[in-house]
A and B are shown apart, each in its own frame.
Chain A
Amino acid sequence: MATFTASVPRTLPTDLLRRRAVQKLLLLAVAAAILVPLANARWASGSWPDALTVDLTKPLTDVSDWIIDNRDSHPLFLYFFGYVSNAVVICVRAVYLVLLAAGWAGVTVFGALVAWRVAGVRLALGTGAAFLACGLLGMWVPTMQTLALMVVAVLASVAVGLLLGLAGGLSDRLDRALRPVLDTMQVLPAFAYLLPVVLVFGIGVPAAVLATVVYAAPPMARLTTLGLRGADKEVLEAVDSLGATARQRLLTARIPLARRELLLGLNQTIMMALSMAVIASVIGAGGLGDRVYQALASVDVGAALAAGIPIVLLAVVLDRVTGAAGESAGEETGSRRSWLYAAVAVVVVALAARLAGRLDWPDAWTLNIATPVNRSVDWMTAHLYSGVPVVGGTADWAGHFTTWVLDPVRGGLQWLPWWSVLLLVATLAWLIGTWRTALTAVLAMAAIGVLGVWKPSLDTLSQVLAAVAVTLVLGFATGIAAARSDRFERLLRPVLDVFQTMPQFVYLIPVVALFGVGRAPAVAAAVVYALPAVVRITTQGLRQVDPAALESARSLGATPGQQLRQVQLPLARPALLLAVNQGVVLVLAVVIIGGLVGGGALGYDVVFGLAQGDLATGLVAGGAIVCLGLMLDRVTQPTQRRTKKGA
């Protein structure tokens, strides 16, 4: 999403580090020696002991039934949730009607002019072309539905984020209280947010908008706080000495000074909202995501692509335009008058289109790409799918990956006694982080057991581990190559940019075409999604290694391979750890969505819960996903806190 910067702190002297690690391991070993025999004597079983689980099915089903029975009569719903839901419906409808009234020409011109004023001619042309492409693909109406939903969700997220960010920026106590919550929210997979809102609001647009707001507000809040706190002390003192009141100080100095962060926050919020608005089609958001979702359900790759391309175009355009706004923040952009001209132009075009009776995108201008795409996919399935001599087909690869990698890893994890999994989690988390992160990780893992979804969670975990391993091998290799060759890095950069802006949902389309249905395609999608962030962090980490250290290694006659192994990689260790952390978080998000293409495990439980209206199953799985996300984040979290998700 936005560009990523990794700071590389100085590493601790290695022998000190090693001594501390040994101490930690000894302590853990002592604790394990006491606790494990106790636990084992009491609850001897490989999987999580039944005695320690709490069955939430009954209470959750009761809650869900109660809500359905009382939704139309209880005051809580009539006087609170009802209004919230109403407000969302009215706002979305209003924006949608405005967009429809402007017609395709009006909307396109409006988009292009805004892009022109904010970001220049090239982006304006790009924006116009992107909108026309949406229409050309026959996706005008779904695109407008998604846009209407997005506009409302982004405005709400920005409002909520600004409020929280202001609170955190002005009060230290609130900052301390909010920060861990926001940090955690950033690492949770989007899917986990869907169920609670569905429980209250039922399937439909209000639930989708609210889930999007919850998902997209945290980056705005974080960056607002960051901007307010990072303001130049001297400027603030100068303002104080002029005798400004607290309110004047906030409005005239601190907020303008934080403008760059605010715009970066807006950028991140928009990107996350788009990503979520698409995923929320699972709970009835409609629009483009819905088209992708339905097409995936019928494995109609062509139709999915036709809806996927507008999503990608929207994402790239929105990212570039808001990004450019952030870059040029501070300089005065354009005069009032040119904005006025732009507004007049939009109105004129919209009226002209209306008079010409061309409000709807004309059917004759649509390009049917579904049929040719499906034909080439059929050809691919016929020729690449299986039985290609020597290398085997993609389906064979998927089959082999499942049999030789996924199955053994899952089997191994599920075979491990439950206490040893906890011990493993504790060891890893403590070695990399602090005792606090270790404790959180162990508690999160234990909570999964208590929820009674130990087995499916380990299934999901096995997919995550396999995907992370593949991602790291590919990512580190590419990152090292990019760090060594400037030309390669230049070639790679635009590719990474585009891949990082795409919403998670889009990645499911090509993998279904190539690998069919099952766990292997879910893993493949996760790898592709997480790869850009890992490559980028690795490259940056390697490039920031102290040139003096490299130079001295070279003068000692080290070969390039030795330089890499003995100087660059050890010195870039913090960046590499960060890459692992990001990789794990991103992979989990997509492996969960893989439930839609046969990934099974927790993701499937969530889909099942939504599809069958069996919210107990879905909510328990959602809870387990949250815990798994927490655990994975804490286990891989280096001592220094890192930047946020989405890289």
Chain B
Amino acid sequence: MRVRTTAAVASLVLLTGCGAADMTKQASPFANAQGAKTVTLSVQSWVGAQANVAVAQYLLEHRLGYRVDTVQVDEVPAWDALSQGRVDAILEDWGHPDQEKRYVDDKHTITRGGGLGVTGHIGWYVPTYLVKQHPDITNWKNLNKYSSLFRTPESGGKGQLMDGSPSYVTNDKALVSNLKLDYQVVFAGSEAAQITQMRQFAKEKKPFLTYWYAPQWLFKKVPMTEVKLPAYKEGCDADAAKVACAYPHTPLQKYLNADFSKKGGKAAVFLKKFKWTTEDQNEVSLLIADQKLTPEQAAKKWVDSHASTWKAWLS
């Protein structure tokens, strides 16, 4: 017995190489199983991000001959995974200044991969049919007047402000308390749940107030109007507890693992050049989310009709 344990320990030491074992450089045990050259992309839970990854994956596989693994990780853990090399690239980041400073500027384990070409904006939205009945509802100062419209079983006596996944960038709890609004933030738990809920409200033309963001394909299905919050100024969201202003307009960014960026060959070059427009992304998103195509079919459809756009990424 003892001999066997010693042997096991010894072989372990041999396998891991003597000396230090840096666990930040360990890949997933399931990666590269068949010995192909693999790129691992992080895909976030919203459909826009799936569209980016679907097109990138399609081109990497069919034009450059890579094998692509996708991993669904939440936004903040994805940064950690990217820095450790468990993921090679994030294609759509909505702004995480803390992580950017830590990994890009201090530890140099992540490099910037340039812009995605899409500008994102988070805000509070009400359905357009509601705005037709109450035109002044689009200003935050009037929200308290209408809070009774938005009451639900989950929000208690207050109006309901619906938020989606706990992993998204949000200041809503602070905003509600700092703007002294008579509202309760209710998390649907996931974006899909939030969308289901919004579509059900819209079917019955019920009022709702929701955290939402553009570009998003749902606007084509449920027209919504943004509620004006106090204007965004540079730095007004620096202290998370004291935020009392709107969300910024963020040019979405790509990030690459530093090692992959240097040694990733054609794949890394391709991912750095990957850049498209809001319309392009929405087209693919709608194919996936509304027409229920698989991401691969949707990507193929887009690739077949936009050769001029993606040819530039491969040159």
Contacts and interface: CB of A to CB of B under 8 A. Distances in A.
B158 to A, nearest CB: 13
A85 B153 contact: no
A514 B27 CA distance: 39
A611 B21 contact: no
Contacts of B197: 516-517
B12 A598 contact: no
Contacts of A90: 12, 15-16, 29
A627 B154 CA distance: 26
A299 B165 CA distance: 12
A402 B45 CA distance: 28
Given A96-B29, A597-B189, A298 B22 contact: no
Given A205-B28, A297-B165, A610-B77, A78 B20 contact: yes
Contact of A86 (B16, B28, B74, B187): B16
B189 A89 contact: no
B84 interface: yes
Contacts of B77: 203, 284, 610-611, 613
A297 B188 CA distance: 10
Interface in B71-113: 72-77, 79-81, 84, 86, 102, 107
Given A202-B84, A298-B45, A612 B76 contact: yes
A516 B33 contact: no
Given A296-B190, A297-B190, A611-B76, A86 B166 contact: no
A85 B30 contact: no
A594 to B, nearest CB: 9
B277 interface: no
A145 interface: yes
B6 interface: no
A116 interface: no
Contact of A286 (B21, B23, B28, B193): B28
Given A72-B22, A82-B20, A403 B80 contact: no
B24 interface: yes
A81 B189 CA distance: 33
A247 B76 CA distance: 53
B196 interface: yes
A607 B28 contact: no
Given A203-B80, A298-B190, A519 B23 contact: no
A598 B23 contact: no
A445 B114 CA distance: 51
Interface residues of B, number: 44
A148 B153 contact: no
Nearest to A299: B192
Contacts of A598: 187-189, 193
B26 interface: yes
Given A297-B165, A402-B153, A85 B33 contact: no
Contacts of A399: 153
Contact of B23 (A85, A407, A595, A611): A85
Contacts of A206: 23, 26
Nearest to A598: B189
Contacts of A201: 23
A77 B80 contact: no
Contacts of A407: 153, 156
A326 B16 CA distance: 38
Contact of A607 (B16, B30, B166, B192): B166
A93 B29 CA distance: 5
A517 B188 contact: yes
Main secondary structure of the interface of A (DSSP, over half): helix
Interface in A605-647: 607-608, 610-614
Interface string A51-95: 000000000000000001101100001110111011101101100
B144 interface: no
Contacts of A83: 12, 16, 21
B29 A72 contact: no
A517 B80 contact: no
Given A83-B12, A202-B84, A608-B166, A96 B23 contact: no
Contacts of A81: 23
B29 A205 contact: yes
Nearest to A613: B76
B21 A89 contact: no
B167 interface: yes
B154 A100 contact: no
Given A82-B22, A86-B21, A611 B153 contact: no
A595 B188 CA distance: 10
Contacts of B153: 399, 402-403, 407, 518
A611 B74 contact: yes
Contacts of A205: 28-30
Contacts of A475: none
A581 B165 CA distance: 34
Scoring B27, B107, B165, B187 by chain A CB atoms within 10 A of each residue's CB, the highest score goes to B187
A298 B192 contact: yes
A611 to B, nearest CB: 4
Scoring A77, A90, A299, A614 by chain B CB atoms within 10 A of each residue's CB, the highest score goes to A299
A388 to B, nearest CB: 15
Contacts of B187: 598, 600, 604
B189 A517 contact: yes
Nearest to B11: A90
Contact of B192 (A284, A290, A300, A519): A300
Contacts of A78: 20-22
A203 B73 contact: yes
Nearest to B204: A386
A196 interface: no
B20 A299 contact: no
B192 A86 contact: no
B30 A96 contact: yes
A39 interface: no
Given A202-B80, A298-B190, A407-B153, A92 B29 contact: yes
Contacts of A299: 190, 192-193, 196
Contacts of A610: 74, 77
A596 B21 contact: no
Interface in A80-127: 81-83, 85-87, 89-90, 92-93, 96-97, 100
Interface string B135-162: 0000000000000000001101000000
Contacts of B156: 407
Interface in A168-208: 201-206
A92 B29 CA distance: 6
Interface string B60-75: 0000000000001111
A294 interface: yes
Contacts of B84: 202
> Lowest 6 CB-CB distances: which A-B pairs, in order?
A82-B21, A611-B167, A93-B29, A613-B76, A598-B189, A78-B20
Given A284-B73, A298-B191, A402-B153, 12 more contacts: A69-B107, A78-B20, A83-B21, A86-B26, A204-B26, A206-B23, A297-B191, A298-B45, A402-B154, A518-B153, A598-B187, A598-B188
Interface of B: 12, 15-16, 20-30, 33, 45, 72-77, 79-81, 84, 86, 102, 107, 153-154, 156, 165-167, 187-193, 196-197
Interface of A: 68-69, 71-72, 77-79, 81-83, 85-87, 89-90, 92-93, 96-97, 100, 145, 148, 201-206, 284, 286, 290, 294, 296-300, 399, 402-403, 407, 516-519, 595-598, 600, 604, 607-608, 610-614
17 contacts: A78-B21, A83-B12, A86-B15, A86-B21, A87-B12, A90-B12, A93-B29, A100-B33, A201-B23, A294-B45, A402-B153, A517-B197, A597-B193, A608-B167, A611-B74, A611-B75, A612-B74
